[in-house]
Amino acid sequence: MNLTDLTAVVLDGFVLGLQFGILGVGLTLVYGLGGIVNLAHGQMAVLAAIIIARLIDGGTQTALALLIGVTAVGILGLVLDLTLMQPVYREPGEGRVLLGLLLMLGVGFIIDGILEWRYPIEALTLRVSGSPIRILDVPMRRGSIIASAAIIGIGAALALFFRYTTFGRATRSVIQDEQGARLCGVNPALVRTVVFALSGVLAGVVAVTRAMTTPVDSTAGVSLTVFALIVAVVGGLGSVSGAFLAGILLGIVNTVSAFYIGSYVSTIILLVVAAITIVVRPSGLLGVKS
Amino acid sequence: MSGHLLEIEGLCAGYLGQDVVHNASLFVGQGEAVAVIGSNGAGKTTMFRAICGMLEATAGTVRFDGEDITNQKAHKVSRAGVVYVPAERHLFPQMSVRENLVLGAYPKRPSGSQLDMIFRLFPRLEERLSQHAGLMSGGEQQMLAVGRALMSSPRVLLLDEPTTGLSPLLANEAYDALAELRSDGLTILVAEQQVPLALGLVDRGYVLDHGRIDLTGTADELRDDPGVRRAYLGV
């Protein structure tokens, strides 16, 4: 086993893992707050990617296109929360989880259908020019480094927001004990709406950072949703740092197994690792115990 | 307008279309301490949940400071100054004592003097400031639940069985703290089945039986009532 190879593979896994992490965060927050498994999360990311790609093709400046694409899915999240999700929030207990899951599955199908119908071969690739930078003696592409730095920055900002701001603390209080939060004067409906919109923005961030390392095509939605789900469950539903930890773990597992065994088994190994984690720690790596 | 701070009239509430509390009326004056006594299942918790917006009242009105707050959302009732401490406490288990207290002041930022007041009342909380709430003993959790409620400077404190899960010694300490709050002028409505403790604190009380208020009087009157003595005081 060549040490440089291993370092390179682990670093690649880390880059992928950060993307998995930010993907899982969007899903985990929405679930932790309102019990909704957003099975359209990956499709929302792809929607952002295709909007950005179309805008850039049409001559819009890249920075502006990114801003519009990310904002658009943020607004989509906001609108979904205020419309389709309202009857879901009124449903008590298990009914809520199932209804939310089915409705969001439907939203995912609709986005997938529209994209495959109108833009079947569209893909977003964001090329970052410049020669590779050596990290730990491994030449890393600039796109990977910028994408990773952006995710780390956003992740840190999220962590600070949830830990130290009044609204961030209120968000965690609803995740940990919604009744207790209401007794403290926190309005869970407002928190849910804001966080669903934030989750949409994070889906947009996934699209942008992913496109710096790999093309994001119009059919990528389902697999992104599946990865988001695995990361959120392994990390512990409702935990931001758990999602990042799980994302990095699974990203490294994915690239290492793809490199040393073959990419055909890497997803299976990923699922096995996820299953083992859940057996050992049912509430996830950093999950809120109920 | 009779001018009582909290007035409940003809309140009915329950679960799954079945009322548990029937036509309950009571009032609490400014600065008063009042008890609702009754055995397990009498409907005390249901009544309190309906007052504070955690459960929909099917009939009746809840007025606070002259304003109709019947079936307002719980967070609005709390912000208006009617703060409920449930028997199950509903603390945030993975947050520190400090964070639980800070959330009590939501949406405002907590002031240092409020924290100092709570630490004077419950010195234990200051010692445990960075401890996770979920890892504390029952007595400490009860202190934290009351402390968290006080952070919003409530105008009425609703306490549901504050002695739940506490040893007799800790239950006494809890009531000592409540007596201190009372003498500071806080208005208190407390539900309790440990009747001697409750009657030692309050001015007046209501007896709730099978969801109906069937007796009311001053603490002394209730203590001397043959029915109360037989049912709750074991005499």
Is residue A174 within 8 Å of A181, Cβ to Cβ? yes
> B136 or B234: which carries more pLDDT confidence?
B136
Q: Is A192 on the interface with B (CB under 8 A)?
A: no
CA distances from A96 to A87, A102, A204 (A): 9, 10, 26
| Contact state of B75 with A182 under an 8 Å Cβ cutoff | yes
Residue A288 lies in a domain: no
- Report the distance separating Cα A36 and Cα A54, nearest Å: 30
Quickly tell me which residue has 């679960």 as its tokens: B15
Query: For A126-183, what is each residue's pLDDT tens digit?
Result: 998 888 999 988 899 999 999 999 999 999 999 999 999 999 999 999 999 999 999 9
Question: In the predicted model, is pLDDT for residue B203 greater than 90?
Answer: yes
Is residue B208 within 8 Å of B36, Cβ to Cβ? yes
- The predicted pLDDT at position B15 comes to 93
Nearest chain A alpha carbon to B133:
A176
Q: Return the domain boundaries, chain B.
A: 1-81+188-235
- Tell me the nearest-neighbour CA distance from A170 into chain B, angstroms: 7
Overall domain count for chain A: 1
C-alpha neighbours within 13 Å on the C-beta side of residue A55? 19
Average pLDDT, chain A: 94
Probe site for chain B from A166, A179, A183, A237 (most B CB atoms < 10 A)? A183
Probe site for chain A from B106, B150, B155 (most A CB atoms < 10 A)? B106
Token couple for A117: 């119908």
Average pLDDT, chain B: 93
Question: In the predicted model, is pLDDT for residue A221 greater than 80?
Answer: yes
Residues of B with CB below 8 A from A187's CB? 73, 75
Residue ranges of chain B whose CB lies within 8 Å of a chain A CB: 52-54, 73-75, 78-79, 83-86, 89-95, 99, 102-104, 106-107, 109, 134, 148-149, 152
Residue A134 lies in a domain: no
| Contact state of A166 with B106 under an 8 Å Cβ cutoff | yes
Is residue B121 within 8 Å of B177, Cβ to Cβ? yes
- Tell me the nearest-neighbour CA distance from B79 into chain A, angstroms: 5
CA angle A75–A76–A78, rounded 5-degree value: 60
| Contact state of A169 with B106 under an 8 Å Cβ cutoff | yes
Among B79, B90, B149, select the one facing A177 at the smallest CB separation. Answer: B90
Question: In the predicted model, is pLDDT for residue B77 greater than 80?
Answer: yes
- Report the distance separating Cα B75 and Cα A81, nearest Å: 20
Is residue B194 within 8 Å of B175, Cβ to Cβ? no
Give the range of the structural domain holding residue A99, as residue numbers without chain letter. Answer: 3-123+142-280
CATH 3.40.50.300 is right for the domain spanning B1-81+188-235: yes
Q: Is A166 on the interface with B (CB under 8 A)?
A: yes
How many A×B Cβ pairs under 8 Å?
Answer: 78
| ipTM > 0.85, yes or no | yes
Among A182, A184, A288, select the one facing B94 at the smallest CB separation. Answer: A288
SS3 B97: helix
Residues of A with CB below 8 A from B94's CB? 172, 176, 288-289
For A228-232, B117-121, B164-168, which range has the lowest pLDDT when averaged over its residues? B164-168
- Tell me the nearest-neighbour CA distance from A51 into chain B, angstroms: 37
- Tell me the nearest-neighbour CA distance from A90 into chain B, angstroms: 13
Quick one: which of A199, A198, A167, A197 has its CA closest to A185? A167
- The predicted pLDDT at position A94 comes to 85
* DSSP secondary structure letters along B128-159: TTTSBGGGS-HHHHHHHHHHHHHTT--SEEEE
Token couple for B47: 């009544």
- The predicted pLDDT at position A290 comes to 47
Rounded to an integer, the average pLDDT of A6-31 is 95
Q: Is A163 on the interface with B (CB under 8 A)?
A: no
Angle between helix axes B112-121 and B168-183 (nearest 10 degrees) is 130
Quickly tell me which residue has 């202190």 as its tokens: B143
For A66-75, A194-203, A272-281, B78-87, which range has the lowest pLDDT when averaged over its residues? A272-281
